[in-house]
Amino acid sequence: MIISASRRTDIPAFYSQWFFNRIKEGYVLVPNPYHPKMISRISLSPAVVDCFVFWTKNPAPMLNQLDKLQDYNYYFQFTLNPYGEKLENRLPSIDKRIDTFKKLADKIGREKMIWRYDPILTNEEYNVSFHQEAFARIAHELKDHTSKCMLGFIDHYPHIRNSIQPFNINPLTKEEIEEMAVSFKKTIDIYPGIQLDTCTVKVDLRHLGIPSGLCIDKGLIEKITGYPILAQKDKNGSVVILGGLSLVNSLHAYTFASLKRKKLISTTPLNDALNALILALNASAAAFVLLFTKKFRILS
């Protein structure tokens, strides 16, 4: 199971103590977003969690508690925007956040630090030239502390239009996007240790040499964990947002191959049959099967 923590709120910045309390207890209670009275108990055991993906703009509260994650695999999606207090008045300065980025990368390794330059928006103050200069400055600062930068461009969703209207933020034109993208690519080409991707399917920059990336990166997770991730996209959506956490519906968390590599399942014909059954179940049902097999000593 891959746990994305979280797109709905900044858990590292605002709820890190809650998160570590849940790690200590070994589970989290998650309400169904469509039926809030339906509560699921999700195990946070290292035997079940393949990887945490943290989304944050300020992971400073977690810096001195990373030892509590020593039994887990994880990486950070760290958003570093160049905007000031007018837009983001609850964040430390950009210089302090760059310093936090570097400290975290020094602790866990640059490959586990994804720099998100997102969302890219423009108005009279934050124009194309502003972004070109700001991106180049941040890239230079992070050249030895990240291996990937993800670009994201603002989407004018109906529910945010009233919030951004006072700042005169208008939809980006194709010309603006491509002018910035060309500049960003030239900057990143100076630093061969950083890969530049986009993180949206709505903006295709492959013709400019910028591939479309994945926010939840299967390849990166396999590199971090050291074993294959047997995930397939759920036709109903690969990510289910549940309360403060989002659970990626990756059936690999309960498959034979993943559990075998964690030395939880022995190789027997019965296990092969169970594996076929598990693949047909969703995460909660799979958890029940695991408990059943453990009770009858099918697990080694």
- Using CB atoms within 10 Å of the CB of residue 86, give its burial: 0 to 12 exposed, 13 to 18 middle, 19+ buried: exposed
Q: What is the pTM of this model?
A: 0.78
> pLDDT band at 232, cuts 50/70/90?
low
- Return the number of other C-beta atoms located less than 10 Å from residue 203's C-beta: 19
Return the exposure string of 278-297: e unless at least 16 CB atoms fall within 10 Å of the residue's CB, then b. beeeebeebbebbeebeeee
Sign of CA dihedral 283, 288, 294, 297: negative
Measured CA distances, 294 to 7, 129, 268, 289 (Å): 34, 60, 14, 9
Q: Which band of pLDDT confidence, cut at 50, 70 and 90, is reported for residue 104?
A: very high
Q: Please, which residues have CB within 8 angstroms of residue 171's CB and are 6 or more apart in sequence?
A: 154, 156
Q: Using one digit for the tens of pLDDT, what is the confidence trace for 281-293?
A: 434 444 443 443 3
Residue-wise pLDDT for 147-162, tens only, equals 999 999 998 888 888 8
The radius of gyration of the chain from alpha carbons, rounded to an integer in Å, stands at: 21
